[in-house]
Structures are given as C-alpha cells and as structure tokens.
C-alpha cells in the first residue's frame, strides 16, 4: 500500500514555542491511524497544518502524492473532516443537514440521494431523518456530525474525538461505522482520549509529544516498548511494611505500591512471578482475596513515554 499522507520535517513555530518540531510521519492507504498524545502535544496543530488551515514554518506535506496547499481544492474534495465540536445547522433536519454538506461536493442529485441514504444507514439514523438537532441526544448528535463529514465518500477522513461524552450504544455504533469506512477503502486519522478505542479499531498508532514522534507501531509492537514485563494486583488487608520491603527486594521486581488494600507489583522480567509471590505470601501467612496478572498495557507505554495519562 502507498502513503496517503507524507510529512517531512514539519515545523510550526509560535514565537518562542515550537508546537511542531521537525515532525516526519506517513499515513498508509487503507489504514486507521491512531494519533495519540497528551494535551499540548501538537496533535491538533499537526492536523490543521495537514489540512492547510495553518501555515507552517518549515517542512513538506503531501496528500495523494501531491503537495498540499490552501488552494488545493482537488485534494480537499477527497477529504472528510469531523472535528470534536459538533457543527450542524439547528434549523435543518437530520436529512437536510447531511444533504447540505454532501451537496458541497456532490452536485448530481441522484448520486447525492444515494450518498445521503448510505451515510444515514452507516451511522444508524434511519429513524431520525426528520428530527432537528435539538431533538437528538448527545450520542445521536455525534452520529449526525459524522454523517455530515463523510457523506461525500471521501478517501481520507480525519476524526477528532468523535465519541466524546456519548452513551455506550452510540459509541459502539460510531466505532463500527469507522471500521466499515475503512473496510470500504477509506483511510482514517483518528484521535481520542480513550485508549480502549485505539486498541479496538486502530491498525497503527503514532504517539506524539512536544511536536515530535515518540513511537509508532501496532498496539502489540508498542507494548513491547514497556520497561515492565508483568503486573500483579492483589487484594490484601493490613499488609505489613516488612512484607512490602521484602517483596521489593525480589530479583525481578521493578516497583511495589500498596494503597487501599490493593497491592500492585510490577516486574521487569521473569515467567514465574505470580507463583513466586503467592508462595511468599503463603510462607508469611499473609491472607489475600483476589489476585490477577496482566501484561503491560498501551496506557503503561504511553505513560512511560510521555509522563502523562492519555486523559490528563
């Protein structure tokens, strides 16, 4: 597969602040790319530069193999954008809103009617065609916002936090719709503050911070960057300080924390950590309730690389 987007040495300077610092990345054709970063990492600035909504200081941006410029209308006609803030007309119905935005690109009325129906079906708004935005729940309003942005069947789609503050049913509907768009050939750049969504739908992930790429790869590839090998969580009452200190001294242990009757032990390496820990607690006559082990998560990697939680 070729690259839909190619960015080389992109720099955006605001007086003394470098919002983007020599950024280079690619978005491959037909993938859902998760663009992650803490607040202030440069995600929004990068997207706005890609869309030529912002001028940049240095670098090169190509979309569909062509240089992206503010007047590159042939390129922009193949792009769909759904920003975090809902942007629809309150005086138009669901159907009229989608038809209006689709009509900005598709002039043929017969084709536009088919595209309109396809968009409504994709986001599950068949029963709400004649509703006005003020009559929709937050989740349904988000679905309408997405339909307006993708109704013209763009080849490249930017989705910025499309599931913020929506109900579980709408979130599942939106995520399913995004995967369907990818399966039909669209390339998608996806930003979110929900790490579980990234693992569900993204083919590849880029982690940004301070305007630079810190890491890129699939979810499994990024998890291999974690400095820890395993996390063991135990529900244990009244754990003595000496026990915490002795567990910390175990050869493969990285860190031990104990808060609110929950003991968390992270390990740098080792294959029998859980068994060894249970044997130790048994030998010390320390009673415990629930105990489970898990591998490093994508959020662990994100925290290690950026020093922040994704939702901070």
Same domain, 106 and 64: yes
Res. 162 pLDDT band, cuts 50 70 90: very high
- pLDDT confidence of residue 141: 96
pLDDT digits (tens, 9 = 90+) for 180-235: 999 999 999 999 989 999 999 999 999 999 999 999 999 999 998 988 889 999 99
Instruction: Indicate the residue among 171, 197, 223 that finishes a domain.
Output: 223
96/40: higher pLDDT: 96
Res. 1 pLDDT band, cuts 50 70 90: low
Q: What is the mean pLDDT of residues 41-65?
A: 94
Res. 31 pLDDT band, cuts 50 70 90: very high
Beta-bridge partners for 264: 233, 257
Sheet holding 253-259, edge to edge: 253-259, 262-267, 230-235, 291-294
CB 311, CB 193: distance < 8 Å = yes
Res. 308 pLDDT band, cuts 50 70 90: confident
Per the domain annotation, does 301 fall within a domain? Answer: no
Per the domain annotation, does 303 fall within a domain? Answer: no
- pLDDT confidence of residue 39: 87
Domain with 11, as residue range(s), is: 3-223
Same domain, 94 and 150: yes
Average pLDDT, the chain: 93
Same domain, 154 and 70: yes
14/150: higher pLDDT: 150
Per DSSP, the three-state class of 221 is: helix
State phi, psi for 209 to the nearest 5 degrees: -160, 140
25/84: higher pLDDT: 25
Same domain, 192 and 235: no
Q: Is the pLDDT of residue 312 over 60?
A: no
Same domain, 264 and 206: no
Per the domain annotation, does 312 fall within a domain? Answer: no
Q: Which CATH number characterizes residue 183's domain? A: 3.40.50.300
Q: What is the mean pLDDT of residues 235-247?
A: 93
Per the domain annotation, does 311 fall within a domain? Answer: no
Same domain, 213 and 263: no
Between CA 150 and CA 159 the distance in angstroms is: 10
Same domain, 206 and 249: no
Same domain, 149 and 290: no
CB 162, CB 175: distance < 8 Å = no
First to last CA, the chain: 35
Q: What is the mean pLDDT of residues 10-37?
A: 94
Q: What is the pTM of this model?
A: 0.88
Per the domain annotation, does 62 fall within a domain? Answer: yes
Same domain, 127 and 36: yes
Per the domain annotation, does 118 fall within a domain? Answer: yes
Q: Which CATH number characterizes residue 257's domain? A: 3.30.70.100
Q: Is the pLDDT of residue 279 over 90?
A: yes
The number of folded domains in the chain is 2
Judge residue 23's burial from the number of C-beta atoms within 10 Å of its C-beta, 0-12 exposed, 13-18 middle, 19 or more buried. buried
- pLDDT confidence of residue 311: 64
Q: Is the pLDDT of residue 30 over 90?
A: yes
Q: What is the mean pLDDT of residues 158-166?
A: 91
Same domain, 68 and 150: yes
Same domain, 198 and 248: no
Same domain, 139 and 277: no
Q: Is the pLDDT of residue 248 over 80?
A: yes
- pLDDT confidence of residue 130: 98
pLDDT digits (tens, 9 = 90+) for 92-110: 999 999 999 999 999 999 9
Per the domain annotation, does 250 fall within a domain? Answer: yes
Instruction: Indicate the residue among 206, 223, 240 that finishes a domain.
Output: 223
Between CA 30 and CA 75 the distance in angstroms is: 17
Per the domain annotation, does 202 fall within a domain? Answer: yes
């Amino acid at each position: 597969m070729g690259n839909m987007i190619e960015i080389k040495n992109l720099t955006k300077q605001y007086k003394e602040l470098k919002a983007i610092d020599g950024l280079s990345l690619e978005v491959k054709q037909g993938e859902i790319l998760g663009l992650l970063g803490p607040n202030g990492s440069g995600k929004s600035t990068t997207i706005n530069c890609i869309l030529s909504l912002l001028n940049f200081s240095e670098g090169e941006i190509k979309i569909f193999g062509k240089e992206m410029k503010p007047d590159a209308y042939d390129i922009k006609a193949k792009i769909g954008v759904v920003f975090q803030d809902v942007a629809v007309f309150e005086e138009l119905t669901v159907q009229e809103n989608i038809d209006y935005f689709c009509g900005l690109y598709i002039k043929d009325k017969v084709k536009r009617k088919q595209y309109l129906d396809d968009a409504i079906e994709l986001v599950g708004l068949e029963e709400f065609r004649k509703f006005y935005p003020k009559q929709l729940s937050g989740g349904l309003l988000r679905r309408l916002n997405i339909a307006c942005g993708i109704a013209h069947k763009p080849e490249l789609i930017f989705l910025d936090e499309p599931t913020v503050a929506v109900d579980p049913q709408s979130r599942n509907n939106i995520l399913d719709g995004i995967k369907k768009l990818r399966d039909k050939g669209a390339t998608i750049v996806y930003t979110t503050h929900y790490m579980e969504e990234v693992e569900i739908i993204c083919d590849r992930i880029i982690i940004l911070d301070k305007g630079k790429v810190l890491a890129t790869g699939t979810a499994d590839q990024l998890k291999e960057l974690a400095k820890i090998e395993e996390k063991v969580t135990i529900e244990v009452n009244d754990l003595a300080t000496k026990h915490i200190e002795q567990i910390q001294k175990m050869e493969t242990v990285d860190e031990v924390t104990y808060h609110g009757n929950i003991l968390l032990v992270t390990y740098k390496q080792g294959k029998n950590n859980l068994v060894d820990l249970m044997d130790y607690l048994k030998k010390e006559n320390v009673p415990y309730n629930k105990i489970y082990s898990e591998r490093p998560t994508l959020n662990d990697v994100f925290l290690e690389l950026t020093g922040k939680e994704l939702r901070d």
